[in-house]
Amino acid sequence: MRAPRFLVPDVPDFGLVALPETESHHATKVLRLKVGESIELFDGVGYVGTGVIVELGRRDVTVQVSQKRFAPYDHFGRLTLAVALPKGDRQRGTIEKLTELGADRLVPLETNFSVAEVNDRNANRLDRYAIEACKQSRRNRLVQIDPSMNTTNFCREIRTVLQAGIRTWVLHPPDTQCRFDSVPVLSTQFLTKPLAGVIFAIGPEGGFSDSEIASMMEAGAGLLSLGDRILRVETAVAVACTLGSLWVGQSRASQSSEGPLIGS
């Protein structure tokens, strides 16, 4: 059975560390762990350690750490998703998918047809979803969740990152009323090395408006079609993250590899 995982502010190289109160409560009251049981600790910035519970207190759990390593299991800042988030529980599914599949950064988009808003009242909920997904997926660096961004500011970012060789693709289905043509994903040419970085922009259920698409294309983004079917936001996020893994490589070390990758 896989050892349970807990988030701590810092993973020591060796020695004792106390779990935060909320993590201690989960360990003792929910999982009912005992002294002598093995667990994993991760710090949210890429380090993970293995240890054994040595003491159970009323409000804290003390762990003896025996090993520490750097294993973030993400894309080292090269994979960003800008998403007009859905409502309710579907936000959890969206955060889970992009966390599990290694997206480094989420930019919640405010669009003409957005149905949900990310603000100070609910941003903590998204962070909690990301932490839970890290625990489940064995990812050790948390996804960066930015404040909401409107499309005007997002277009500024598209222009800025383009100068650094980072491409932005707006996911948009073909054969819609939009006056712009999207490129089928299978027609994008093959590259001999990974991209410096990629941003995928995913609109709400109603899609991006024509004016929003025009602004993003003028800023340097391309339109990309994932097929003839209309995908829900969570599904589009999963497909985009999978494409991103191919286009930028799985880790920093993969930047030196020479396998063929789909790109533009």
Query: Does the fold of domain 79-262 match that of domain 5-70?
Result: no
The reported pLDDT for the residue numbered 59 is: 85
CA-closest candidate to residue 56, choices 34, 86, 84, 83 = 34
Reported as half-sphere exposure (CB side, CA atoms, 13 A), residue 256 has a value of: 2
The reported pLDDT for the residue numbered 28 is: 93
Which regions in the chain score pLDDT beneath 70? 174-193, 250-264
The reported pLDDT for the residue numbered 254 is: 36
The reported pLDDT for the residue numbered 191 is: 57
Classify domain 79-262 by CATH architecture: 3-Layer(aba) Sandwich (3.40)
Classify domain 5-70 by CATH architecture: Beta Barrel (2.40)
Domain ranges across the chain: 5-70, 79-262
The pTM score is 0.87
pLDDT tens, position by position, 162-209: 999 999 999 987 655 556 666 666 555 555 567 889 999 999 988 899
- Provide DSSP, 200-259: EEE--TT---HHHHHHHHHHT-EEEE--SSPPPHHHHHHHHHHHHHHHH-SSGGGGG---
The reported pLDDT for the residue numbered 151 is: 95
pLDDT tens, position by position, 150-162: 999 999 999 999 9
The reported pLDDT for the residue numbered 157 is: 97
Q: How far apart are the first and last CA of the chain?
A: 43
The reported pLDDT for the residue numbered 259 is: 34
Residues contacting residue 88 through CB under 8 Å, at least 6 positions apart = none
The reported pLDDT for the residue numbered 263 is: 35
Looking at residue 192, the DSSP 8-state letter turns out to be S
* CB atoms closer than 10 angstroms to residue 134: 23
